[in-house]
Each structure stands twice: as C-alpha cells, then as structure tokens.
Amino acid sequence: MFEFPVLVGDIGGTNARFGIIDERGAQPRVLSREATADHPDPSAAIRASLEAGVASAPRSAILAIAGRVDAPEVALTNAHWMIAGERIGRDFGLSRVTVVNDYVPVAAGAAGISPEELTPVGPHFETPAGTRLVLGPGTGFGAAALVPYGDRLAIVSTEAGHTDLGPTDEAEAEIWAMAERVEGRVTIETLLSGPGLARLDAAIRRVRAGQGAPARDPAEITQAGLSGDDPHAREALELFAKLLGRVCGDLALTFLATGGVYIGGGIAPRILDILERGDFRSAFERKPPFTAQMRTIPTSVITVQDPAMSGLAMLASEAGRFVYHGQVWES
C-alpha cells in the first residue's frame, strides 16, 4: 500500500513529468515537466520538480519509466538515466518506491476510460468484455495488455516495440531497403515512433527522388503531410498509419484483445484524419483466417490529456485491484 502524499512520475526518453497525489482517490497535481538531458539523474529532476511546484513532502512514490523494469537498477531505453527505487527512496526519505514500465499505468487507466476520452477509428462497437490492449508510438513504442484475472486485473507489460517489422509487398520492400537500421535491425520502434516517422520520410524521399536528403523533424513532416503541401510527407504519414494498423492487429491477435485496442502516445491524436481515412483499419483487419473476428474488435485513439498520470493515480489509490510486475523498494 502507498502512503499519501504519493509522488508520481511519467519518465520518458525526452521528458519526465512529476506530480503529487495528496490523498487516496485524488487526481495528481502536476508539478513540472523536466527534460532528461537537463539533469544528471532522476533524483535531481525530482528535486527540481518539487521545488518548482507547491507540494507537500511525499511519503511514497510510483514512477513509470520508458524501459524494461527487470532489475533493482534499470536504464531508460532512450536516455542516460539509471533508475533505482532504493536510491530515490533514500534520497527523499520515502517509505516505498515502485517503478513500472511506462505502459503499466496507461493500461490501468484503460480499465476506467470513458467514451468521451476516446476517438473510435473504424466501426463503432459497444466495448465487449475481455483483454484490452494499449499501445502507442511516441519517442519510442510502448505496449501493454490489461487482462481480467478473477476479480482483479493483470497488467502485462511488453517490449513489443523491439520486435522485428518487415515489408509485405514490393512497394514496402523498396522503402525497407532504404530505411535506416538501428543496430542492424528494422523493429516496430524503428519505424513506428517519432524518430521512426523521420526514417520513413527519409526512405521514401530516397526511393522517389533517387538521392539522399537531410532528415526532417517529425513535427515538420506531420504538418507538411496533413496540409497536402508535400506528397512525400503525406506518403510517410499514410504508410505510418498502415503499419500501425498492421502492428495493432498483430498484437490484438497475440493477446486475443477482444476488449479493444487503445492507442496512446503523442503521434496518433495528431494524425486522426489519416488513421480514419487511410489503410489503418483495413490493415488491422487483414489477418486471415481471423479477418471476421478482427472486424469485431474496436480500435480507438486515447484523446484524454494525461492517460499515464490518471493511470498512476489508479495504481496508487486502488492498489489491490491490479496485479503487475515492477520494482518495489520499501524502507
């Protein structure tokens, strides 16, 4: 159980956001957003955040990190920080520190998400019972499943973003041949992330123009593609949406996610029009011999402002409701 006030943190490869939950059942008060590059370690960022916001001294903490939580000290996947619950607990005199993968709270939040917090992509369904899948492209690619387990909910965090992703036709094979590899591989995260969108855009321009071109910022690609001013950027967004649909379908089959697929991250809400009008849903459903079953699974984009922070509040306030893997330190 967590002692209140509880410090909560959503720690990504680029930024870390911290907040305080003053009492059980309350929503977090966000203190500040800290760039990971601006601080040598998480304790320095937490200290800066506590000083920046008006907050009671925390008595425990739950931190979600963009990385695999499999040891007493773990590294962020896309940043230099090492995260150790014991060190943070001793630095701030806490009774308990829990560290989880960053998609654990997003999955917890999906347990109570309302239709007003979602934008359906594809057919509208009454949400059926069963496993729910949450995933999302951002700085990286995260995914987790929320599985009913008796009267509790088990959260299965994954590193699905680091599995291989390949082409399925000749047009895609041309682009794969030009795509930048990461440590010699093309993974889901290599292409379905902010940096991945930049890689898709660069590969498409190499294929279409027959020469190299400077890498572009993902925000620039998104703006140019949505406006229609740049056909290469538009093609990159459309392929991104198609690949996202394919991966969502693959993971929905993997977890038998009859309760629906919920897409978070920073990119999907910005390209809703592409997702709704393009090949996302057809790629999601194209899973013979299970195409008919795939058509019954709803897919939605999470449009609520802070699903991770809301999920952290649920994990802190309803600790007995969820079963999940994490690093737990107690004084």
Bridging pattern class, strands 15-21 and 29-35: antiparallel
Helix axes 218-227, 194-209, angle to 10 degrees: 60
First to last CA, the chain: 13
User: Which letter, b or e, does each residue of 61-75 get, where b requires 16 or more Cβ atoms within 10 Å of its Cβ?
Assistant: bbbbbbbebeeeebe
Do residues 81 and 36 lie in contact, with contact meaning Cβ atoms separated by under 8 Å? yes
CATH of 6-102+306-330, one of 3.30.420.40, 3.30.70.270, 3.40.50.300, 3.40.30.10: 3.30.420.40
**pTM recorded for the entire structure:** 0.90
d(CA 271, CA 302): 12
d(CA 114, CA 232): 36
- Does 257 have pLDDT greater than 90? yes
List beta partners, residue 153. 148, 322
The pLDDT, as a whole number, for residue 324 is 92
Distance of CA 303 to CAs 119, 181, 216, 235, 266, Å? Answer: 7, 31, 26, 24, 10
Helix (H, G, I), strand (E, B), or coil: what is residue 232? Answer: helix
Do residues 321 and 115 lie in contact, with contact meaning Cβ atoms separated by under 8 Å? no
**285 pLDDT tier (thresholds 50, 70, 90):** very high
CATH 3.40.367.20 placement within the chain: 114-303
Considering just the CA atoms, what is the radius of gyration of the chain in Å? 20
d(CA 313, CA 21): 7
**305 half-sphere exposure, CB direction, 13 A CA radius:** 3
Average pLDDT, integer, range 12-41: 92
Question: pLDDT of 185-233, one tens digit each?
Answer: 999 999 999 999 999 999 999 998 876 677 899 999 999 999 988 999 9
**153 pLDDT tier (thresholds 50, 70, 90):** very high
Question: pLDDT of 110-151, one tens digit each?
Answer: 888 888 889 999 988 777 789 999 999 988 899 999 999 888
- Does 166 have pLDDT greater than 80? yes
Bridging pattern class, strands 299-302 and 152-157: unpaired
Domain 114-303 bears CATH identifier 3.40.367.20: yes
CATH 3.30.420.40 placement within the chain: 6-102+306-330
Of the candidates 83, 49, 58, 56, the one whose C-alpha atom is nearest the C-alpha of residue 68 is: 83
Other C-beta atoms within 10 Å of 291: how many?
11
